[in-house]
Amino acid sequence: MDVISKYPAIFRVVGGPGVPPMVTLTRKAEQIAASESEAREDMGPLLVKNLRKLLMLSVDCMVPLETIELIRDELGLPGDFKKVLVPKYPHFFTVKDVHGRAHLCLENWDSSLAVTAREERFAEAGGLEPGGHLRKGKISKDGNFSGPFAFRSKSSKESDRGALSGRGDTSLCSRILFSRAIL
């Protein structure tokens, strides 16, 4: 009972001395629980995309159903994905019996799914042209990149240090050593 009372935003405990306690969900928790089925429906296309990517990673585009069941939670698949998800998308998935084991097979290869998450973020940020080619940076005729810092030639350390002479301090050297240093 103490554990339940630690979460008043989720659970409501009704009852008191002499009355057995009754535990219910708060109004907000009930709304979230009611919207769970809608969220599962909205996640369908994303789950199909992730499952297709997984099958594309395998050599023969098929994975045993037992293996998928082991990683089902990590993929976000529902418990009954074999009965709900696979028959709903027959143009993407089929279940075939290979050597006595049921395998989930990919029916259609989609090269647009063979993109890493990094490439997707780069494309969303505007780094790719509509044809899928990389956008090239503009370089001026003198070889510098365009932009506000294109012609900045010295860093702050170089400007603070001042110009260094190749000869160093020659005030202490004799005239002979100085002439040898120059030659």
pLDDT at 138: 60
Residues present in the chain in total:
183
Which range is most confident: 97-101, 138-142, 153-157?
A: 97-101
- CA 86, 90, 94 angle in degrees (round to 5)? 65
**Are residues 81 and 93 in contact, defined by beta-carbon separation less than 8 angstroms?**
no
Distances from the Cα of 17 to the Cα of 3, 20, 138, angstroms: 19, 8, 78
pLDDT at 118: 76
- Residues of each domain in the chain carrying CATH 3.30.420: 43-107
44-68 CB burial, b ≥16 within 10 A, e <16? eeebbebbbebbeeeeebbbebeeb
Q: Which residues contact 56 (CB under 8 A, 6 or more apart)?
A: 106, 109, 110, 113, 114
Arch. (CATH architecture) of 43-107? 2-Layer Sandwich (3.30)
| Residue 91 vs residue 163, higher pLDDT | 91
pLDDT at 64: 92
Q: What is the pLDDT of residues 66-115, one digit of tens each?
A: 999 998 888 888 888 888 888 888 899 999 999 999 999 999 888 877 77
Query: In sequence order, what DSSP letters do the residues of 99-127 get, joined into one string?
Result: TTEEEEEE----GGG---HHHHHHHHTT-
DSSP 133: P
Q: Output the pTM of the full model.
A: 0.52
| Residue 77 vs residue 152, higher pLDDT | 77
